[in-house]
Structure 1
Amino acid sequence: MSRLARPAARIAAGSSALARRLGARAAAWCARGRRDDLTGWRAALGVLLRIVLLIFGAYLLARLVRALPAVMWLLSTGWTVAAWRAGRPAADEPAETSVETPPTLDRDAVQTLLLEAMGDAPAVHLRTVLAHLQERGQWEGRKVADLRAALARLDIPHARGVKVAGVPTWGVRRRDLQAPSPTEGQETSTAASTAA
Structure 2
Amino acid sequence: MKRDIPRALTERLARGSSIVWQRRSEALATWVRAGRRDDLTGWRAVLGPAARLALLGAAGWLAARIIRARPVLMWALAAGWLIAAWRASRPAPDEDAEDGPEDESEQGPAAADPDALRRLLADLIGDRPGVHLSAVLAHLQEHGQGEGWEVAGLRARLEAQGVPVRRSVKVAGRVAYGVHRDDLPAPSPGEAADRAA
| Contact preservation (8 Å) 1:31, 1:131 | no
Amino acid in the other structure paired with 1:140: V
Which of structures 1 and 2 has the bigger CA Rg?
1
Amino acid in the other structure paired with 2:12: R
CA offsets per residue over residues 129-172 of structure 1, 9 Å max, x none? 545566776552267xx79x9699xxxxxxx887x5xx59799x
Scaled by the length of structure 1, the TM-score of the pair is 0.57
Is the partner of 2:90 in helix, strand or coil?
Answer: coil
2:24 and 2:32 mapped to 1: Cα distance?
12
Q: How many residues align?
A: 156
Which of 44, 47, 68 is the equivalent residue of 1:45? Answer: 47
Which of 64, 67, 82 is the equivalent residue of 1:65? Answer: 67
1:123 and 1:74 mapped to 2: Cα distance?
46
- Sort the Cα spacing of 1:89 and 1:109 in 2 relative to 1 into closer, same or farther, 3 A: closer
Aligned match of 1:22: 24
2:83 and 2:33 mapped to 1: Cα distance?
29
- Sort the Cα spacing of 1:19 and 1:161 in 2 relative to 1 into closer, same or farther, 3 A: closer
How far apart are residue 107 of structure 1 and its match?
3.9
Aligned match of 2:78: 76
| Contact preservation (8 Å) 2:133, 2:151 | no
Percent identity over paired residues: 34
Is the partner of 1:38 in helix, strand or coil?
Answer: coil
Amino acid in the other structure paired with 2:74: M
- Sort the Cα spacing of 1:72 and 1:169 in 2 relative to 1 into closer, same or farther, 3 A: closer
- Sort the Cα spacing of 1:5 and 1:185 in 2 relative to 1 into closer, same or farther, 3 A: closer
Scaled by the length of structure 2, the TM-score of the pair is 0.57
Is the partner of 2:151 in helix, strand or coil?
Answer: coil
Aligned match of 1:55: 57
How far apart are residue 102 of structure 1 and its match?
3.6
Answer yes or no: is 1:94 the counterpart of 2:94.
yes
Which of 13, 34, 37 is the equivalent residue of 2:36? Answer: 34
2:108 and 2:69 mapped to 1: Cα distance?
41
How far apart are residue 40 of structure 1 and its match?
1.9
In structure 1, list runs of 5 or more residues that go unmatched. Answer: 116-121, 153-159, 172-183, 192-196
Is the partner of 1:64 in helix, strand or coil?
Answer: helix
Cα RMSD (Å): 4.4
1:61 and 1:25 mapped to 2: Cα distance?
19
Q: How does 1:35-184 map to 2 (within 5 A)?
A: 35-90=37-92, 93-94=93-94, 102=110, 104=112, 105=117, 107=119, 111=123, 126=131, 129-132=132-135, 139-141=150-152, 164=172
2:58 and 2:69 mapped to 1: Cα distance?
16
